[in-house]
Amino acid sequence: MLRLPDPRGLGRPSERGFALLAVFWIVVLLALIASATLHEYRRDLHLTRNILAIAQAEALAGAGLKRAVFELLRAPDGQSWRSDGTRNAFIHDGVEIVVVIEDEGGKLDLNRADRASLLAVFDQINAATDLNNGMVDAILQRRVDQMDTGGFTSLVDLLGVLGIDRTFLNRISTLLTVHTGDRDFDPLAAHPDLLGALRGLDTDQLAVFLEDRDRRAAIAPYRSNDKIYTVRATIITPEGADITRQTIVSLTPRSGALYAVLESRRLWE
């Protein structure tokens, strides 16, 4: 009896090899697509978590600001928060919030200070004297150019001056302000560096003055008449990110509110 050949055996070996190779590369391509999709998903998930953590930290910074305003408004006593740059901390929703308050009355107003005073302040925090001279001259020229608009409206405007970056700005912000309009500053609320630069105190005299000031503050923290304060609230997220928001507030707003925000920004290193 005549037998017909099996159709499954009629294909050429080269055709079968090509089919297997095509299947192999399809599987590889699908694996690459799946890997890329998984990587993108993980990246988006990480980004979403970071955004959420930052949003939560910003909300906690708002809580730090409100607590600072409460401390500033209540009658000062031995338990009140100080406004001389002292570190204050409290727990809110299980997270530690560190708040530092600075009295703007204890700072030199950038729009009213003379050249010698500005230069002394810059020399106090930066050893490059020649660079300081150039920066101060540039600041004074800008002040003249902006006279019609009231001069500098924020210390952030100093970032346009050659030689001043964000790190330098963060350091100088403890000594300068644009919100008091005063020609002088209140030494009872001033930073030690400002006292050293503009009051001519040597190390021993400054130490005695600060010791006496601290002793008085332990009884009742000092508040200047300007009632304008810088509040820095720092929160460390579970991911380890250190987030600080700086807000300048006035406790004598024109409206019926308890306080008015003059400016607010996130600090960057």
Domains of the chain, by residue range, sit at 45-104+225-266, 110-219
For residue 95, the SS3 value is strand
What count of other Cβ atoms lies within 10 Å of the Cβ of residue 98?
16
Instruction: Supply the pTM of this predicted model.
Output: 0.78
Judge whether 189 and 84 are in contact, CB under 8 Å. Answer: yes
Enter the DSSP assignment of 232. E
CATH number of 45-104+225-266: 3.30.1300
- Ranges of residues in the chain with a pLDDT under 70 are 1-18, 38-39, 41-42, 44-50, 238-241, 268-269
pLDDT at 57: 82
Tell me how far CA of residue 5 lies from CA of 1, 9, 40, in angstroms. 13, 8, 53
Rounded CA separation 40/139 (Å): 47
Whole-angstrom distance between the N-terminal and C-terminal Cα of the chain? 93
pLDDT of residue 230: 96
Which amino acid would we find at residue 194?
L
Whole-angstrom distance, CA of residue 64 vs CA of residue 62: 5
Three-state secondary structure call for residue 103: strand
The per-residue pLDDT for 41 is 64
Which residue intervals of the chain are DSSP H helices?
A: 13-73, 115-125, 129-145, 166-172, 192-198, 203-219
